[in-house]
A and B are shown apart, each in its own frame.
Chain A
C-alpha cells in the first residue's frame, strides 16, 4: 500500500520535477503536449503486448478439440497420472496393455489377447507393430521398463501399491509377458488398465530415471506437443496411430480454466468443446444450453464425513447415531449439492456397482427427536464440542460444513470448522492428524465394490492408509478379507453382508455418490462419460458431426 509521504528522496524528486515543469511555462499548450506524450506512452505500452511473444494462437477450427480443465496439471508423466485433471490429458498420449470400456469391463488394448490360466497367473500377448510416437516399435522390454518405473522409489508413484501382490514379471516370449502374483487377487487384472500400466519407450525411461518426464512419448492417438504451465497443454494427432482411421481431430488443446463460471462461459461461446467440472449452481444453466449434449454418470464415488471412532466422543455408537440423525442431508442436497450427486444409502458402494447393498439398506433418516434421545442416552448427554475439517478452496464444502454446524447446534453439539487447504486436509488424513470429524471423498481405482470398502473399513488400513474413521470390527475384517481372496461371484454376497454390518455400526456420515459430467458440443459422438473416465482416452473414438 503506497503512502504518500515516502522519504527524503521523494521530496527532492518531486521538487525538481515540478520546478522544471513550471519553468517551461506551463501553458495550456505545454499541458497538451504532456498529455499527448502520456497518451503516446499508453499507446506504446498497449502495443507492446502485441509485439512481445505470447501464447501461440491455435486455429479455433472444427479440427481442434478444446477441453477446459479445472486446475493445472501436476505433471504429464503416466506413472504420476492419478488425478482428474492430468489423466484426461495423459490417457490420450500413452496407453496400457488393457483398458476399460464404457461398462467398466476390461478388454485388451495394447495386448492382443489376455489369459488368466489360474488365479495367480496373468499372460499378456502384445500386439505386433505398434509404433511409439518416436517411430520405434513397442516391445515387451518397454512394458517391463514402464512397470518398473511405477514401482521405482525415485518416482514415488501413487500407484506403486497396485503392484504389491506381484511376485514375478517375466518376458515369456517374443511378444509375451507373464505376471505371477503371490496370492489370488480379484482386482489385479484391472491394474494394467490404469495409468500404472501405461507403456513408454524404455529408452525414454532410462534417460530420466529419477525425474518425471516433461515430454511423454507413448502409443496413443495424440502426440505431446507442449505444456505451458498454468495455461494449456497442446497435443497433435498421431498420424501413425495403430488403430487406423483414428483419431478424427487434428489437434487437442487442454486449457486450464480454474474458474467454473468461465469454463461454462467458454462452453457457451464455443471456445471450449467440452468441460468436465461444473459448479453446482450452474448445472441447470449448462443443461439448458443449446448446441450442447449433456452427459452425466454417477461415479464409483463416495463423499462422507469420517468420525474418529477410536476416541471419545465418537467411540460411542449412540453419539454417532445422534450426529447422523441430526444432519438433514436431504436439505443440503437439495439446496447446496443439487443434482451433482445421489444420496448415499448407508454405504460407500454406489448403486451402479455390482455388489452394492443399497437396495437392501435404508437411508439414514433425519430425525431431530431421535437424535436428541440418542444423545441423552449416550456418554455425552449434555452435548459436546468437536471439530469439522473441510477444504478451504471448496465453497460448496464450506457451505455444507456451515449448514452441518448449524444443524448440530440444535442438538447441543458445538462444531468448530477447521478450513484448511486441500493439500493439508489430505495430509492430515494420511497422518491421522485430525480430531472429531473430517470430510472425505473416495473414487474407486477399480470397478470393484471391495475397492470402496476394504481401504476404508478394514482395521489394518488405519492412517497412513485410508480407514480415516479408525473403524474396527473383526467380523467385517474377516468378510472383507474373504472377499478379496475370492475370485468367484460369491464374493458379492460376502460384500453385501459386510456393508450391512458396517451400516449398523454407523461409523461415518454417508453423504452422496457424486456424478461426473461431460457437457460437449452437440454433434460429437463416440465417447460417453463413464465412472472410471480417468483411466481412459476421451479422444480416441470421438467423431465430428456426420463422420
Chain B
C-alpha cells in the first residue's frame, strides 16, 4: 500500500483549476487510479482494435464445435453455436462500453444543465427539483428501467434511453451542490455586482468548477451503467442476437453451466474486470480531484 504523499492541498474551488502537471503528478501517486486507468485504456484498445485482436469471427460458428472446451483452437472455448468465446468477449466490449457511455452522456446532457440551473435559480424551482430528485433517488434505477424496457420492448436502445433518464439524479445532485457552493463564493458576488451577464458567470466560473465532480461521478456511473446493462441483457431485455454481449453470454452460459462452465465464467470475469476498472478509476479520481468529497 503506497503511503499517500502528503498533498499540498489544492482547493479545487479556486477559480484557476488545478494545473495539468499537478494533476498528472497526483494521478501517478494514486495506485487505484493508475490501475483503473490501465484497465480502461485496455478496454478502449479492445474496442478500437477488435477486428485485429479477435482470433475468430465473433458471429461465425462451426456447429460441430458446439460448446468446445478451452484449448488451442478456441482459447476460451466455444459457445453453443460453435462461436469463439474470446472473440465474442472482445467484440462485446463495444456493446457494453458503448451502451454505458451513452447512458452517462444522456444523463449528463440533461443533468448538468438541470443541476446548475436549479441551484442558480434557487427558490421554489430548486425546491421542486430537489423533491423530484429525492423521489427518483429513492427508487433503484434498474427496477424502473426493467418495467420500461419490458413495456416498450427489449432492445439496447430502450435500455440505454431508460437508464440514461433514470441516472439523471446522480449527476444533477452533485452538480447542484457544487453550484450552490460556487454561488456563495466571493468572486461570484463580485461578478454579479460588476454586472456580468448570468450566462457568463455560469459558463466562466461555475461550470469549470463542476468539471472535476462530473468526471468523478461519470466514472462511477459508467461502472454502474455497465452493471445495469449487463443485468438487463442477462434477463433477456437488452441486446438481441447474434450481437455479442457479455450479459447475454452469461445467461447462455448459465444454461450449460454443468457441461460447459467456461462460457459463463469468462463472460462474468470480463464484466467484473471492466466494472472494477471504472470503479477504481472513479475512486482514484475522487481522491485526487476532490479530497474533501473523498472523506464523505
Residues of A within 8 A of B (CB): 1, 3, 5-7, 11, 260-261, 279, 281-282, 285, 331-332, 334-336, 392-393, 395, 398-399, 401-403, 405-406, 417-419
Q: Which residue of A has the minimal Cβ distance to B243?
A: A417
B79-107 CB mask vs A (1 if < 8 Å, else 0) is 01110000000000000000000000000
Q: Are B252 and A419 in contact (CB under 8 A)?
A: no
Q: Which of B63, B137, B296 contacts A332 (CB 8 A)?
A: B63
Q: Are B170 and A3 in contact (CB under 8 A)?
A: yes
B252: chain A residues within 8 A (beta carbon):
395
Q: Are A399 and B80 in contact (CB under 8 A)?
A: yes
The 11 sampled A-B contact pairs (Cβ below 8 Å) are: A1-B140, A1-B142, A3-B170, A7-B137, A335-B63, A336-B63, A392-B154, A393-B236, A399-B80, A403-B63, A419-B236
A9 to B96, CA, bound (A): 35
Q: Are A336 and B66 in contact (CB under 8 A)?
A: yes
B257: chain A residues within 8 A (beta carbon):
261
Q: Are A1 and B228 in contact (CB under 8 A)?
A: yes
Q: Which of A3, A334, A417 contacts B240 (CB 8 A)?
A: A417
Shortest CB-to-CB span from B5 to chain A, Å, is 25
Q: Which residue of B has the minimal Cβ distance to A415?
A: B242
Is B134 engaged at the interface, CB distance under 8 Å to the other chain?
yes
Q: Which residues 254-271 of B have a CB within 8 angstroms of A?
A: 255-259
A1 to B226, CA, bound (A): 12
B61: chain A residues within 8 A (beta carbon):
402-403, 406
Is B241 engaged at the interface, CB distance under 8 Å to the other chain?
yes
**Given known A1-B141, A7-B137, contact A331–B63 (CB-CB < 8 A):** yes
Shortest CB-to-CB span from B275 to chain A, Å, is 11
A332 to B62, CA, bound (A): 10
The A-B contact count (CB < 8 A) is: 69
A interface majority secondary structure: helix
Is B19 engaged at the interface, CB distance under 8 Å to the other chain?
no
A402 to B249, CA, bound (A): 14
A399: chain B residues within 8 A (beta carbon):
80-81
Q: Are B80 and A336 in contact (CB under 8 A)?
A: yes
A90 to B240, CA, bound (A): 37
Q: Are B241 and A401 in contact (CB under 8 A)?
A: yes
A399 to B63, CA, bound (A): 10
A335 to B259, CA, bound (A): 14
**Given known A1-B140, A395-B255, A419-B241, contact A11–B296 (CB-CB < 8 A):** yes
Q: Are B241 and A335 in contact (CB under 8 A)?
A: no
A406 to B80, CA, bound (A): 14
What are the 5 closest A-B residue pairs judged by CB atoms, nearest first?
A335-B63, A399-B80, A335-B66, A1-B224, A395-B255
B49-78 CB mask vs A (1 if < 8 Å, else 0) is 000000000011101101100000000000
B interface majority secondary structure: loop
Is B46 engaged at the interface, CB distance under 8 Å to the other chain?
no
A419: chain B residues within 8 A (beta carbon):
154, 236, 240-241
Given A6-B137, A336-B80, A405-B242, 4 new contacts (CB under 8 A): A3-B220, A331-B63, A392-B154, A402-B81
Q: Which of B64, B141, B173, B241 contacts A398 (CB 8 A)?
A: B241
**Given known A6-B137, A261-B258, contact A406–B67 (CB-CB < 8 A):** no
Shortest CB-to-CB span from A160 to chain B, Å, is 31
Q: Are A392 and B236 in contact (CB under 8 A)?
A: yes
A3: chain B residues within 8 A (beta carbon):
137, 170, 220
Q: Are A281 and B81 in contact (CB under 8 A)?
A: no
Q: Which of B154, B241, B258 contacts A282 (CB 8 A)?
A: B258
Shortest CB-to-CB span from A319 to chain B, Å, is 23
Q: Which residue of B has the minimal Cβ distance to A399?
A: B80
Is B227 engaged at the interface, CB distance under 8 Å to the other chain?
yes
A403 to B296, CA, bound (A): 53
Q: Which residue of B has the minimal Cβ distance to A5?
A: B296
Q: Which residues 201-221 of B have a CB within 8 angstroms of A?
A: 220
Q: Are A395 and B240 in contact (CB under 8 A)?
A: no
A285 to B137, CA, bound (A): 49
Q: Are B255 and A279 in contact (CB under 8 A)?
A: yes
A395 to B293, CA, bound (A): 46
A260 to B257, CA, bound (A): 11
A403 to B82, CA, bound (A): 9
A361 to B258, CA, bound (A): 40
Q: Are B256 and A281 in contact (CB under 8 A)?
A: yes
B134: chain A residues within 8 A (beta carbon):
7
Q: Are B81 and A403 in contact (CB under 8 A)?
A: yes
Q: Are B67 and A281 in contact (CB under 8 A)?
A: yes
Q: Which residue of B has the minimal Cβ distance to A9?
A: B134
Q: Which of B82, B140, B220 contacts A335 (CB 8 A)?
A: B82
Q: Are A281 and B259 in contact (CB under 8 A)?
A: yes
B82: chain A residues within 8 A (beta carbon):
335
Q: Which residue of B has the minimal Cβ distance to A401?
A: B241
A11 to B252, CA, bound (A): 42
Q: Are A406 and B60 in contact (CB under 8 A)?
A: yes
Q: Are B242 and A402 in contact (CB under 8 A)?
A: yes
B142: chain A residues within 8 A (beta carbon):
1
Shortest CB-to-CB span from B246 to chain A, Å, is 16
A399 to B236, CA, bound (A): 14
B137: chain A residues within 8 A (beta carbon):
3, 6-7
A401: chain B residues within 8 A (beta carbon):
241
A417 to B142, CA, bound (A): 26
Q: Are B259 and A282 in contact (CB under 8 A)?
A: yes
Q: Which residue of A has the minimal Cβ distance to B140?
A: A1
